[in-house]
Structure 1
Amino acid sequence: MWVASGLSHMALVPLPLQQDIHLQFTISRRQLYIPSGQRHSNTRFDPDSSGRPTTWDSFGIWDNRIDEPILLPPSIRYGKPIPKVSLTKVGCASLIGQRKENEDRFMVSQVTDSILYFAVFDGHGGPEAADFCEKYMEKYIRDLVAEESNLELLLTKAFLEVDKALARHLHFYPNVPGINAGTTATVALLRDGIELVVGSVGDSRAMLCRKGKALKLTVDHTPERKDEKDRIKKSGGFITWNSLGQPHVNGRLAMTRSIGDFDLKNMGVIAEPETKKVKLHHVHDAFLALTTDGINFIMNSQEICNVINQCHDPKEAAQRISDQALQYGSEDNSTIIVVPFGAWGKHKSSDTSFSFSRSFVSSGRWA
């Protein structure tokens, strides 16, 4: 995925042919021996048919601080180098803040050989709904992969199935705490290192850093949105505002979509996610960040982008963002996942000044 310094000495070279006759490739840090004589090729990996190994420089990949191999089959399919995204390089942090317990949950895993899974869940009214999603969302996605290739449809089906399964679970155990618990859900799937699809309900967010700028991939589901408010009212629900000017569904919930919250399902609160599909450009895309509202409430997307761009690696970035949200006055749980891409470290922001005209009130969803 990412290449450290010394790019001019890195080359793409074939390993011995396997029994299945498929070529497999690796990245080497030193100049390798090349047999004499030309080897002709009509692929974009040897555009001049010189037989010389293709270097990262000829792809236009800039220096960064993470060293990963490229994924050859997707690179050939898309005609551009696609770096491998290693889960070991992903940064995650979750802080309890001023709350009595941490109701945030997060998950990072490999669903199939070609699909990676990243998710944050921000529970309210108890941790039960967030716990359920943490445990089962990936399972439903894994089960649906075999029958649904469209990742946006897959995520929509998974969200709705998890919501139904949670309802059955709580109905089967009627005395379980948190019978009316709910959770946000923001899930990202990355296929072949280049196809990024995000699905979300609630006010947890996904953001892509492209050319040093924050590109929002989600829009919060709040009663302030006219389309969301209209659906609530048509379903028989109503909107009230608390003393801080925050709108709530039926005076209780500060979001219009969630998993759980079954007492408000007949009032227009739905579990169907809004989805977005993005094709990554690893030359320009530095990272994906998933955040809960303990961070979003106190830092805007560009501020998050700028702070992460100052960090050496994603693990440091995740810790710094969650710490900074608390320092700025966030009282909520603060959770973040940082997934580095090809341009990690390329867009170092020199802008270290942030807006301090922040609202330091609680970001709780329950009135």
Structure 2
Amino acid sequence: MSSAVLFNMLRCGRSTIARQTFLSVRSQPETSTASGQMGGALFGMVGVRRGSGSVGLDGDISVRPVTWDSFGIWDNRIEEPILLPSSIRYGRLIPQVSLSRVGSTSVLGLRKQNEDRLRIGRIHDNLLYFAVFDGHGGPHAADYCYTFMEKFIRDALEEDDDLEKVLKKAFLDADKALHTHLSYFNNASFLTAGTTATVALLRDGVELVVGSVGDSRAMLCRNGKANKLTTDHTPDCEDERHRIQTFGGYVTWNSVGQANVNGRLAMTRSIGDFHLKASGVIAEPDTQRLTVQHANDSFLALTTDGINFLLSDQEICDIINQCQDPTEAADVIAQQALQYGSEDNATIIIIPLGAWGRPQSSTTVYSMSRNFASSGRWA
């Protein structure tokens, strides 16, 4: 029996498979694939049972059955096929993250134009790409990153397999190329355009790397709790403010208490903003790498400040967990930000993971009637 047939049986969860069938598989030599060896960790399963909506896997009659719940595959909300090569490589079942299930939205708010951009794509068969860009000073920088950031990532992948190094190189290359691009227009105002950038790469359905500059965010919902994966690059951060001052720049605060670099920019890192590079505004991203736990991770969300300045990460997590699908959740989040008084463009991408729809254990209960005045946040 081939490994593909075996995993198809596990995925579909059809009628009981005879114990003898699996015993015959165990007696065969281990199957080798281009991704590596198929070890006994996966082929050691010798029985499949189905009962009350779940599939149990028995390694021995004395071992407690393992249900699909343990892998984060939920019959009531989402049922995705298993990524066979990744499951073989990592020694555990990994569900596929389908781009067709990703939810996203971008709303204008009270601005004259929407300078936010979002991108969802597949760089390679095993590498997914998600990004949000929040432009300022015009849409030029956000448009450029929307169009070309993926190219810079592909180029960097030809030189290095480390996704953190790939993102750092791609951000810096995009910043350099944007300067060349905007200089062609011979318009000094174009060089004042800039954008935040928050990019997530998901390889093999399990290796997640996030890179970010500016104040757009990435957040992972694990066991019902929000886990912030990015740092807001603002002058309020002591390290960021120190760099600005070391470069000869200065920080001022406006009438609502918002810190700005040279009185012009509310962030200390961005792609573009070339008039402030000499004052310490840089394009090098902070990066973070983690392993997705599909049994516990419900979703990954990327947001611009039109959302995350009005809703806390935990509020976003709780709202999304009350929704039936990621598309609905994205619309609800954007509309909630507007109701709370956001005047900015509001953009969100929601990537469902293995535990989407699983009952969560967060102790925080979100109330749709929360008063905006009590939030203490401003757009």
TM-score range for the pair, normalised by the shorter chain length = 0.7 to 0.9
1:332 aligns with 2:344: yes
Q: Quick one: which amino acid aligns to residue 31 of structure 1?
A: S
SS at match of 1:111: strand
Q: 2:68 aligns with which of 61, 71, 80?
A: 61
Q: Quick one: which amino acid aligns to residue 337 of structure 2?
A: A
Look up the match of 2:265: 253
Alpha-carbon RMSD: 2.3
Q: 2:117 aligns with which of 105, 116, 121?
A: 105
1:224 aligns with 2:221: no
Q: 2:138 aligns with which of 122, 126, 141?
A: 126
Q: 2:365 aligns with which of 351, 354, 357?
A: 351
1:43 aligns with 2:60: no
Q: How many residues align?
A: 344
Q: 1:30 aligns with which of 7, 11, 14?
A: 14
Counting helix residues as a fraction of each chain, which structure ranks higher?
2
Offset of residue 51 of structure 1: 6.0
Offset of residue 56 of structure 1: 4.8
Larger mean Cα displacement after TM superposition, 203-212 or 173-182: 173-182
- With over 3 angstroms needed to count, the CA separation of the structure-2 counterparts of 1:218 and 1:228, relative to structure 1, is same
SS at match of 1:218: coil
- With over 3 angstroms needed to count, the CA separation of the structure-2 counterparts of 1:344 and 1:118, relative to structure 1, is same
Look up the match of 2:210: 198
Residues 84-134 of structure 1: CA deviation (Å, up to 9, x unaligned):
001000000000001011000000000001100000000001000000000
- With over 3 angstroms needed to count, the CA separation of the structure-2 counterparts of 1:226 and 1:235, relative to structure 1, is same
Larger mean Cα displacement after TM superposition, 157-166 or 145-154: 145-154
Per the normalisation by structure 1, the TM-score is 0.88
For 1:262 and 1:83, the matched residues in 2 are separated by 43
SS at match of 2:182: helix
- 2:19 and 2:47 in contact (8 A); partners too: no
For 2:249 and 2:343, the matched residues in 1 are separated by 29
For 2:56 and 2:222, the matched residues in 1 are separated by 20
1:298 aligns with 2:310: yes
1:207 aligns with 2:219: yes
Structure 2 portions without partners, runs of 5+: 27-38, 58-65
SS at match of 1:206: strand
For 1:227 and 1:176, the matched residues in 2 are separated by 30
For 1:214 and 1:60, the matched residues in 2 are separated by 26
- With over 3 angstroms needed to count, the CA separation of the structure-2 counterparts of 1:173 and 1:88, relative to structure 1, is same
- With over 3 angstroms needed to count, the CA separation of the structure-2 counterparts of 1:57 and 1:126, relative to structure 1, is farther
Structure 1 portions without partners, runs of 5+: 1-11, 17-22
Look up the match of 1:313: 325
SS at match of 2:199: strand
Per the normalisation by structure 2, the TM-score is 0.85
